[in-house]
Amino acid sequence: MNIEYLNDKQKEAVLADDGPVLILAGAGSGKTSVLTTKIAYLIEEKGANPKNILAITFTNKAAREMKERIIKMVGSKAYDMQISTFHSFGLRIIKENYEKLGYEKNFTIIDSDDSLTLIKKIMKELNIDTTRCNPKFIKNNISSCKNEMMSPSRYKSLAVDDVSEITYKVYEKYQEALKRNNSLDFDDLLTMPVMLFNKYKDVLDSYQELFKYVFIDEYQDTNEAQYILSKMISAKYKNICVVGDEAQSIYSWRGANYKNILNFEKDYKDAKVILLEQNYRSTKMILNAANSVIKNNINKKDKNLWTLNEEGEKIKYIKANDEKDEASYVTKEIKELKNKGVNLDDIAVLYRTNAQSRTIEEGFLNSNIPYRIVGAFAFYSRKEIKDLLAYLKLIYNTKDDISLLRIINYPKRGIGSKTVDNLSMESVLNGTSIFDTIKSGKELEFKKQIEEMIDLSNNLSLTETIDMVLNKSGIKKELEGEHTLEADIRLENLNEFKSISKTFEEESGIASLEEFLNEVSLVSDVNEQKNDDTSKVTLMTIHAVKGLEFDYVFVIGMEENIFPHVNSSFEEEGLEEERRLCYVAITRAKKKLYLLNALRRTLFGKTSVNMPSRFISEIDDEYIDKPSIKKEFISKLDKTKMFNLDNGLNVGDNVVHDSYGPGVVVMVDKSIATIAFKGIGIKKLMKNHKSIRKV
């Protein structure tokens, strides 16, 4: 097998023998090519059985592309490999062992919205005021618990305040409800395989024997559950190869722990470590700018990206008067690029928060610049699609109370909320599903309708089943009767859903409702983009752009309190993640990078004056074209909005923080105060920040 097209370090990674291997792959260093070639080489030259290979990545799209590339290299035998996301792999394990986990074969997977609905229902049953305790917050707490492999009882033992106590109570009832409904949530797809392996060593042994070679992409994005799962699977043969870059770890808010990659050498003492530092994407200027920013982080691996690409232009830094001025500059520059023959598909505008896109959109609309917003609204989150899916889920699993509650009175059939509440209460008391509880009334007509659909579906294809449900349920009739543009759009979306099911049938050859629902549950919303031949500028958050690249990149809102974000600016861990986020933004650009900030900005209904982002000053002057700093900028800055002049904090002082409550100062170092907060732990904060008061 020819690997001469690889550079020396890439070859070293491909040829690395059995045992643990850590490939630290900088941005644009060709890690996907290395990983796919390494797997193909293992099959072709080392004689590994494809059935013994497990490769994990983080999106369905990436998994498909990886498999396609390996098939091109080694042929059809690559179909025997398990290449998937962690969640797809977890689902496979659960499907193969559902009885041991106490589930029936026809279990369903609930999505994020249905999970929230269930949590709201439980909070109501427990008489918890949802106006005082946000259900979304409780949901996120439960998700964090699961990702940290923390059971309700374990969480209870660590509860330190009223919110923790509420979380425990809801978490416990939530798990009971899922079990009763024969349902799992997305987090369960990771936690349940771990619980299974801990309880049944013979099951773990069988998967260890099956998957003798384990490959994990984007290892810096693994959470605790994913980390444990990968460690358990690879424990016997230790043929684990992980690829990642701690400098691109930006998902701590969803449980990712960059320390997993930093600690790899501790977990595997004989690990081979290979650095991929040659960048094939960006100019020297852009790479040097990225290096000069990320070097300010303490928690990192020592590496320095370099390239043989051209020197390139300096980073263009623009200081606008306000967000409209900022948008005006971006619009004007993009029009000029277009006039020079640049394809709009090669241009991206990045921002820290979604709300920042509004003024850019207005500028583009006024200038007739076509654009696409990535991640703005997901197809599977639309009401009509969720309604249809609820019918399909209930047909497949009548114990799915969450789906039933969504559609029992849609389209309207005269079943009131009191009736539904009584049914819910009776089902809990009897330990049965709501569907089985129904015995009379209009709700019985609904039950008979579902039973009829179940019977009919047994003799229909997947797409025919969907057509039948749309007609029998009354959804189609209701929308057709509205005669509104919104209703027409909803009908178009439902038709688009049928094209999805038809494609699934044609490509997979599977007409099973079970397999289709599993596939839909695992679809990544991030990758949902309609095919469109029109050239468009891409607008997206920096979190969403990871893994992508563009010739020309504009990063707006480079201001303190925006980027770095105000919630992260005063804690070391948070600030380092923001800096990694900046590193990701910079390294998306291939030819030219623009960084912009504004003197004044109105965001979320408030006008503020912020200092330029510290990340601007961290870029060495030789790599950035900086305008002269205007004196009026400094004079207009209201520092009291951010800082006290001097609160004179000393070790031993008792303080109160706006968010963390009472605490004691344990160390003061220049502008940083280390404070121990009751029930929270140790935090490093700016000592003169307005949120801290001496008591």
Which residues carry out catalysis? 31-32, 217-218, 248, 588
Other Cβ atoms closer than 10 A to 543: 19
Helices (H), 211-341: 224-234, 259-262, 264-267, 284-294, 323-339
Strands 240-244, 21-25: parallel, antiparallel or unpaired by DSSP? parallel
- Compute the CA torsion angle 117, 123, 128, 133 (nearest 10 deg): -50
Question: Please, which residues bridge with residue 553 across strands?
Answer: 348, 593
What is the rounded CA–CA span in Å between residue 6 and residue 312? 24
In eight-state DSSP terms, residue 314 is: P
The encoded tokens of residue 282 equal: 């960006």
Give whole-number Cα distances, 432 to 138, 425, 435, 436, 438, in Å.
Answer: 26, 10, 8, 6, 10
Give the integer Cα–Cα distance in Å for 301 and 28: 17
**Helices (H), ranges, 438-484:** 441-457, 462-473, 475-482
Report the amino acid identity of residue 475: I
Tokens 């606008």 -> residue: 320
Rounded CA-CA distance 613/609 in Å is 12
- Measuring CA to CA, which residue among 448, 438, 441, 449 is closest to residue 401? 438
CA 387 to chain centre: 24
Alpha helices in 181-283 (DSSP H): 188-199, 201-210, 224-234, 259-262, 264-267
b/e code 49-88 from CB counts within 10 Å (16+ = b): ebebbbbbbbbbebbeebbebbeebbeeebeebbbbbbbb
Q: Give dist(CA 48, CA 69) in Å, integer.
A: 17
- The Cα 664–Cα 682 span in angstroms is 10
Q: Which of 81, 76, 87, 80 is nearest to 35 (CA)?
A: 81
423 residue type, one letter = L
